Amino acid sequence: MEISPDKIQENLDSEKMVPASQMERRVLRETQNIQGNPNVDHVTKVKKEKSKEKSFYNVAKNKLTQQIMGKKTKSKSKKSTLFNVLNPEPSAILDDDLLCMDIDMLDPSAKIREMFIKRPDDVVDIYAHLNDQFNCPEYAQEVYCYLQSVERRLTFSDDYLASDPEVTPQMRAILTDWLIQVQVHEELCQQTIHLTVALIDRFLVLKGVKLQLLQLLGITCLFIAAKYVERFPPEVATLCHLTDNSFQPAQVLKLEIHVLKALNFDLNITDPTVFLDRFLEIETNQNKEIAHMSQYLLDLSLTEARFTVYQSSIMAASAMYLSRKLTNIDDPWNPTLAYYSRYSEKDLAACTKAYSKSLLKLPTSKFQGAKNKYNSMTNFDSISNHPALQNKDLLKEIAGEETLIM
């Protein structure tokens, strides 16, 4: 029922004020004596209009508050969920009439979980075995979606070096292959080397560098990435020594400032290793060779500029998919992987072909840094010599497929 302002004011005017003390009677008498004054009449009229507006506002506000805080009796309509391999992201189940006041303040996460995407029946609940505080199962999928949104701004054309007269894809490959060897020598983690290459590519896109300073850019980006990732980053003097003392520490520190300014101090880069760690948590029954082979494929892509067109999550998912396919795992990309990665086999087709072509040309390639790194039996079980990676017939078949749908 709509409440009119005139009705509200009429109710207010009908109320009779009863003086309760001598002071109130005196104020009332003085007010009645000055009613004939025109100036006082004008002031009184303005006050009445303001009081009228304020009273209407308060009544409307109270009514709206009662409607919001009251219990809703009408049924809540919910959207149905659909899921398939080609569209692994199901429809969200949302409350059409949901307001912030509807959330239970004692346990707001319970209401949010109800609103979130509903898991299909054929998808395994990975949070059943990832329920410790470090995995944060309540927020894991939301974090993954955020990282996917961040990575979209980090891709660029594979011919971004075409306009550079000095730094060519071949020179980039030489630098990257050498940096992989530096990573092994300094025992740096996987994320450090991938972040290093990402920083190099971003700086080359934004600013560029002369050929004689390309190696200086490489150790500078490695120094920045190590400080961002490692607990104990290598010393600047050590990195300069690895260049056969071609550069001085002062040059590294000076270029570091230029790199950070060019990147606007934005080091929030999602590299493929972050996504691969997430995918490896999904399938707990697979052996270590899948993890090592996936890491090997990611490192193999560092020397090739054509992989810059792919998002980090697609590169990680494709590496894991190809590893499972080469090792003859049944259903290499099952509904659980498709659901949590939000990619279907069709989405991974192009990147998987690129990995297969890299493996086919590896025996004749000059860049053997990744292969030698993963030839270690102690750290990687000599995964680079795995028989599945030598199966040229299967690799040619995968590289020549138009689609990967079986």
| pLDDT per residue as tens digits for the range 25-73 | 555 555 555 455 555 455 455 455 555 555 555 655 565 556 555 544 4
pLDDT of 159 strictly over 90: no
Q: For the residues 359-386, what does the mean pLDDT come to?
A: 92
Cα Rg of the chain, angstroms: 33
* Structural contact between residues 220 and 259, judged by C-beta atoms closer than 8 angstroms: yes
% the chain with pLDDT above 70: 66
DSSP 68: H
Q: For the residues 196-222, what does the mean pLDDT come to?
A: 94
Give the Cα separation of 172 and 153 in Å (integer): 21
In the numeric block, which tokens belong to residue 111? 């209401």
* Structural contact between residues 251 and 294, judged by C-beta atoms closer than 8 angstroms: no
Domains of the chain: 158-262 (1.10.472.10), 272-400 (1.10.472.10)
Residue type, 4: S
pLDDT of 199 strictly over 80: yes
Give the Cα separation of 241 and 239 in Å (integer): 5
Q: Which of 108-117, 127-136, 157-166, 386-395 has the highest mean pLDDT?
A: 386-395
pLDDT band at 94 (very low <50, low <70, confident <90, very high): very low
Give the Cα separation of 64 and 272 in Å (integer): 50
* Structural contact between residues 78 and 98, judged by C-beta atoms closer than 8 angstroms: no
Which one, of 181, 175, 186, 184, lies nearest residue 235 by Cα? 186
Q: For the residues 7-18, what does the mean pLDDT come to?
A: 48
The CA-to-CA distance between both ends of the chain, in Å, stands at 63
The per-residue pLDDT for range 310-359, each reduced to its tens digit, is 999 999 999 999 999 999 888 899 888 998 888 999 999 999 999 999 99
Number of Cα atoms under 13 Å in the Cβ half of residue 360: 15
pLDDT of 194 strictly over 80: yes
Q: Which of 39-53, 149-163, 241-255, 295-309 has the lowest mean pLDDT?
A: 39-53
Secondary structure (DSSP) of 206-219: HT---GGGHHHHHH
In the numeric block, which tokens belong to residue 292? 């090592």
φ, ψ of residue 180 to 5 degrees: the values are -60, -40
Scan for tokens 């979606």, then name that residue: 145
Output the pTM of the full model. Answer: 0.69
Residues in contact with 77: Cβ distance below 8 Å, sequence separation at least 6, in sequence order: 96
